[in-house]
A and B are shown apart, each in its own frame.
Chain A
Amino acid sequence: EPEVTQTPSHQVTQMGQEVILRCVPISNHLYFYWYRQILGQKVEFLVSFYNNEISEKSEIFDDQFSVERPDGSNFTLKIRSTKLEDSAMYFCASSKKTETQYFGPGTRLLVL
């Protein structure tokens, strides 16, 4: 059964550095999402992406964040200048239209 994959599984970075989190959605899915979960808190929506543009974003998704589908298979989340409070588990998800969202295993980001 096809699955969403994410790399890396863990990333440690210094505050102020740029990070790129990568996701490979399920191949016939057209809708892509990023969520994050700060330790001990709920899973929070960041952004949804369809047809090469952002379709919806939360207030968390400020100018420090960007998403891209660079090559037709990968879906990336970039954080330009990481802050301590960006430390979290980041989940990618994909779906066909308004159907089940399938989640990746997550990338644990630690900002020091």
Chain B
Amino acid sequence: AQRVTQPEKLLSVFKGAPVELKCNYSYSGSPELFWYVQYSRQRLQLLLRHISRESIKGFTADLNKGETSFHLKKPFAQEEDSAMYYCAFRSYNTDKLIFGTGTRLQVFP
């Protein structure tokens, strides 16, 4: 079954510390992976997608097909990064997004 796993419900770091939010997927084909972010009381927003290979707000994510992972990283966390982060996956023959359960990132001053 196609599935996205985010093992951490909560990740707490201090400002300036590196951050890695883990995401693993199960799919045998070529996936499309996304990270969405939801700031407090706001809508889900796309943070980045693997095919664009952009760095948004200092975040990067590399698709590792061997490990079936798409971990989100930022070298120096900021307080404004505190939010809920969702990893999502889409297979080639569908438009539906399959989401992970999300990781809440708390960045303390």
Known: A100-B49, A105-B42. A41 touches B101 (CB 8 A): yes
Main secondary structure of the interface of A (DSSP, over half): strand
Per-position contact with A for B84-104: 1 when CB-CB < 8 Å, else 0?
001010000011111111100
* Pairwise interchain contact B95-A91, C-beta atoms closer than 8 A: no
Chain A, 50-91, contact with B by CB distance < 8 Å: what is the 0/1 string? Answer: 000001101000000000000000000000000000000001
Residues of A within 8 A of B44 (CB): 43, 91, 103
Q: Which residues of B contact A104 (CB under 8 A)?
A: 43
Please tell me if the beta carbons of B99 and A44 are within 8 angstroms of each other in the complex.
yes
- Chain A residues near B10 (CB-CB < 8 A): none
| Residue-wise interface mask of A (85-112) relative to B, using a CB-CB cutoff of 8 A (1 in contact, 0 not) | 0000001000100101111111000000
In Å, the complex CA distance between A91 and B95 comes to 15
Which chain A residue has the least Cβ–Cβ distance from B9?
A: A40
Do A33 and B96 touch (CB < 8 A)?
yes
* CB < 8 Å neighbour of B95 from A33, A58, A105: A33
Q: How many interface residues does A have (CB within 8 Å)?
A: 24
CA distance A41 to B100 in the complex (A): 9
Which chain A positions have C-beta within 8 A of B97?
35, 43, 45, 101
Q: Which residues of A contact B95 (CB under 8 A)?
A: 31, 33, 48, 55-56, 95, 98, 101
Chain A residues contacting B45 (CB-CB under 8 Å) are 103
A56-B99 in contact (CB<8A): no
- CB atoms of B43 and A56 under 8 A apart: no
Asked if A42 and B96 sit within 8 Å, CB to CB, the answer is no
On chain A, the residues within 8 Å of B99 by CB distance are 35, 42-44
**A10-42 vs B, Cβ < 8 Å mask (1 yes, 0 no):** 000000000000000000000101010000011
